Amino acid sequence: MSRETATVIRRILPNLQENTLRELRALIAQSLAIPLPSELQDQPLGLLIQMVACTQARIPLAEEYETERVQRAVDGEEWPSRLQLDETYGSWLGAVSAAAKPGGPRRCAQSPSRDEACPAADSRCTRRDALLAIARCKSEIGSWPTQSDYLRWRGIVRHASGLQGLNEPRLPDARQLRRLYGSWPRARAEAQRRVDR
């Protein structure tokens, strides 16, 4: 909020306390930072940005995007198809990564209740946590991830958790995976072996 705006507000409401003025500044700044749905309509990633902001602690699946896109088409909204986003951004994960970049929406209009929040994650992940995370990544992106895909997916999921006000999910980073399995290929191979049996 500019100094002029604050001065005008003070003139209109002369008895406004300083802490109320600060809260009002923060509220106005936040509302200006969150794009309106009408503003997102002009962006190719607008629908996906909305879905990333509202998907709790995971990335939106391509099938979910297509279903939402078709439903919105009935209401006259036009959004690029999943295949168009794949072509433009190199992959579904690339499109989701672009939609989740900082500067996107800060939160979903429907924030989860505290009952839906994840339990606090401790910084030391187990071998089981690692295998579950790799298998979950595979499930969400549609194929066994490379290390780069996994780390990108991990960043998006952590970002989505933050947007929802949830605790950080138990997703080991590259260093933790090396500590647990010696290398990324060994960790992925073990996850594949367990999932595919």
Domain ranges of the chain: 38-99, 124-196
71 Cβ contact list (under 8 Å, min separation 6): none
Higher pLDDT, residue 128 or 59: 128
DSSP code for 105: -
What percent of the chain is modeled with pLDDT above 90?
A: 19
CA-CA distance, 104 to 33, in Å (whole number)? 8
pLDDT digits (tens, 9 = 90+) for 91-136: 888 888 888 875 544 444 443 333 333 333 445 788 989 999 999 8
3 state SS of 123? coil
Cβ atoms 48, 95 nearer than 8 A: yes
Mean pLDDT of 50-66: 78
Give residue 74's pLDDT: 79
Confidence of residue 21 (pLDDT cuts 50, 70, 90): low
Instruction: Answer whether residue 181 shows pLDDT above 80.
Output: yes
Give residue 28's pLDDT: 60
Torsion angle (degrees, nearest 10) of CA 184, 188, 190, 194: 160
CA-CA distance, 168 to 123, in Å (whole number)? 10
Q: The tokens 């900082």 sit on which residue?
A: 102
CA-CA distance, 144 to 141, in Å (whole number)? 8
* Amino acid identity, position 84: Q
Taking the CB of residue 5, how many other CB atoms lie within 10 A of it?
A: 12
Cβ atoms 92, 80 nearer than 8 A: no
Nearest to 65 by CA among 78, 90, 48, 41: 48
Instruction: Answer whether residue 86 shows pLDDT above 50.
Output: yes
pLDDT digits (tens, 9 = 90+) for 141-154: 888 999 999 999 99
Instruction: Answer whether residue 189 shows pLDDT above 80.
Output: yes
